[in-house]
Chains A and B, each alone.
Chain A
């Protein structure tokens, strides 16, 4: 049995062609009916011109409109006032408009989009400086310039600097952010706030980025030590600016050391004992318990409170000790470790 429309042979059980639903016919009729079908073969669809080159037309129209507007402005200003004065403002707006509308479209094939956007942002900054100069240079445009420069750098550096690692890019951006904040602070008459921000950036960099630059075997230990120093320095700076240096040795430094020294010890011990992640977490919980108790102790000593310890530190330390005990048991039990490894595998 054959299908007269599709020309395929049909399995014995098929009463209708499964492809087109036509009733199955006797094979003797196939040759005749197929020849009829071939005559009705569909013509291919005509080719369509789907790509339209509208770019050049768009550029020409925009260029013409802007040029005509500029010309009219200049003529009107010259004829009414005998020189160029007020028209400079709309002329600079039109120049900016021309640049932002034409440049990205015309050179989209030649430059990276980041460069095009950066160029437009740069042009907008220049426009603001021009306006600032025309209105007697109040220096406010410089803030816009710094912001635009930093925004362009932050966007373009990761996309353009292909040879740089992410860590180098983040470091450069962090340094630039610090400089940007300093520049802003100087621009509005140095009040010192940028110092906090810059030191905060340095502190964050020490926390997040420094381990990536260190030798892997000792990165955690060294970075914890450097973090401790950075925290101490930051605290000293904050206290110094606020005229409370005496609190540094009595309160700030002991608290910082209470938090950091157990962490440093955790690193050292887990490295020496070759603990797995559960052992490290167990030691970390133990460190957190010790740190909470020590911090509470130093605060109470500084405040000359009656009790050495408060409820909050005891509760925190108890919870941390419980977690530490559970994790230590996991470290020592192969069965629990395997189960958790499966469930928590990352």
Chain B
């Protein structure tokens, strides 16, 4: 049984994200449903529903069957939980694509990717292909018994109880534009060569994530440059903590690093932004700093006053805290799931992967990136009509010598 901060799990503005795989064949929803049911036995922590207690919302085993949905025109659209049999993830399929959309209450990008790979492998097996599981590459054996540690909350294992909650930063710049109607999120995907981006990043002494973040910060700075009352630009970069702390947990185990550039201090060259992002990321990724960054939140959850608040009040108060300490502090998110690898006997059936982050109420644009077979897909999701940020982002990459192929829609 897990306690959940209910405020950020409001159904109306739930932070949904999506991981998607495109296969070499048309996806049959019946077979996919069969594969899903088989996979959920191996991943029982995904076969859950959200229940409300007096003090906390908690996850409880869901007896109803999971549903496979045809993909709609907009990714990461709000979930109809009742129609979805109260599952906290939604499996969608369209032509040759399988997409998994989930809430962070359930798991993070790393956990979702393992689930999606295992599901796709099982789907291909049901289609008659012979695919061996490979746990190291994220394709798990569905006949294996789930490990107890996969259910655990790893934050509780590694947090430091002496660290108090970190202070609130000043509000960051937020892009304002003409809003679409509710539940509509436009998507622009840029495909490029991962090797080419890595080489360009290396010229600045950066990793691919750092380089993409620097380009994103620059794009936000340039877009804000056209407005008055300038504010700091901050990009939130999710970090998969499993790479730093040994953990088998399939629950959410990520934290964020905020990379900042303050236009009030003067204009920035791209080299300045790159250096700032590089040092912020290096500093943030030191193990002790990671512990510091998430311990404050865990300690807040452990605070007796917070625990003793009834769920209704907690939802209201924590919504405000999440607004000021969360989305109000950054201008956008860039989540890089890194290089996705598959077992050789499965690789030829999967053509590409992509990742989408739903925009939140304050920041209308978010960005997800994933690389597979040298194809780096950077996807921007936005709830406004204007695509200034995407334009600044991709046109700068082109100026840097990276060949970018852009398409709209998922």
Interface residues of chain A, those whose CB is within 8 Å of chain B, are 3, 5-11, 13-14, 17-20, 42, 44-48, 50, 341-346
Contact at B387–A18, with CB atoms within 8 Å?
Answer: yes
Main secondary structure of the interface of A (DSSP, over half): loop
Q: Would you list which residues of chain B between 1 and 49 have a CB under 8 Å from chain A?
A: 1, 3
Contact at B394–A19, with CB atoms within 8 Å?
Answer: yes
8 residue pairs bridging A and B, Cβ less than 8 Å apart: A3-B406, A7-B395, A7-B398, A7-B399, A11-B408, A18-B408, A19-B391, A345-B58
Q: How far is the CB of B41 from chain A (nearest CB, A)?
A: 23
Contact at B51–A346, with CB atoms within 8 Å?
Answer: no
Q: How far is the CB of B390 from chain A (nearest CB, A)?
A: 5
Q: Report chain B residues within 8 Å CB of A20.
A: 387, 391
User: What per-residue 1/0 map shows which CB atoms of B365-407 lie under 8 Å from chain A?
Assistant: 0000000000000000000000100110011001100011111
Q: Report chain A residues within 8 Å CB of B225.
A: 44-45
Contact at A6–B54, with CB atoms within 8 Å?
Answer: no
Complex Cα–Cα for A46 and B225 (A): 10
Query: Among B55, B265, B266, which residue has its beta carbon within 8 angstroms of that of A344?
Result: B55
Instruction: Count B-side interface residues using an 8 Å CB cutoff.
Output: 33
B359 within 8 A of A: no
Q: If the complex has contacts A14-B407, A20-B391, are A6 and B398 also in contact, measured as CB distance less than 8 A?
A: yes
Complex Cα–Cα for A48 and B230 (A): 11
Q: Would you list which residues of chain B between 263 and 277 have a CB under 8 Å from chain A?
A: 263-267
Q: Report chain B residues within 8 Å CB of A341.
A: 1
- Most chain B beta-carbon neighbours within 10 Å: one of A17, A44, A346: A346
Complex Cα–Cα for A9 and B191 (A): 9
Q: Report chain B residues within 8 Å CB of A3.
A: 406
Q: How far is the CB of B309 from chain A (nearest CB, A)?
A: 10
Main secondary structure of the interface of B (DSSP, over half): mixed
Q: If the complex has contacts A9-B406, A11-B407, are A346 and B395 also in contact, measured as CB distance less than 8 A?
A: no
Q: If the complex has contacts A9-B405, A11-B406, are A346 and B308 also in contact, measured as CB distance less than 8 A?
A: yes
Complex Cα–Cα for A341 and B56 (A): 11
Q: How far is the CB of A216 from chain B (nearest CB, A)?
A: 15
B283 within 8 A of A: no
Query: Among A9, A14, A44, A343, which residue has its beta carbon within 8 angstroms of that of B53?
Result: A343
Complex Cα–Cα for A50 and B265 (A): 8
Q: Would you list which residues of chain B between 147 and 197 have a CB under 8 Å from chain A?
A: 188, 190
B307 within 8 A of A: yes
Contact at B264–A18, with CB atoms within 8 Å?
Answer: no
Complex Cα–Cα for A17 and B265 (A): 34
The 5 closest A-B pairs by CB, nearest first: A11-B407, A18-B408, A7-B398, A19-B391, A47-B266
Q: Which residue of B lies closest to A50 (CB)?
A: B264
Contact at A6–B391, with CB atoms within 8 Å?
Answer: yes
Contact at B3–A345, with CB atoms within 8 Å?
Answer: yes
Q: Which residue of A lies closest to B55 (CB)?
A: A346
- Most chain B beta-carbon neighbours within 10 Å: one of A6, A13, A44, A45: A6
Complex Cα–Cα for A346 and B58 (A): 11
Complex Cα–Cα for A31 and B365 (A): 31
Complex Cα–Cα for A35 and B56 (A): 60
Contact at A47–B267, with CB atoms within 8 Å?
Answer: yes
Contact at B58–A342, with CB atoms within 8 Å?
Answer: yes
Contact at B267–A18, with CB atoms within 8 Å?
Answer: no
Q: Which residue of B lies closest to A49 (CB)?
A: B266
Contact at A19–B390, with CB atoms within 8 Å?
Answer: yes
Q: Report chain B residues within 8 Å CB of A345.
A: 1, 3, 53, 55-56, 58
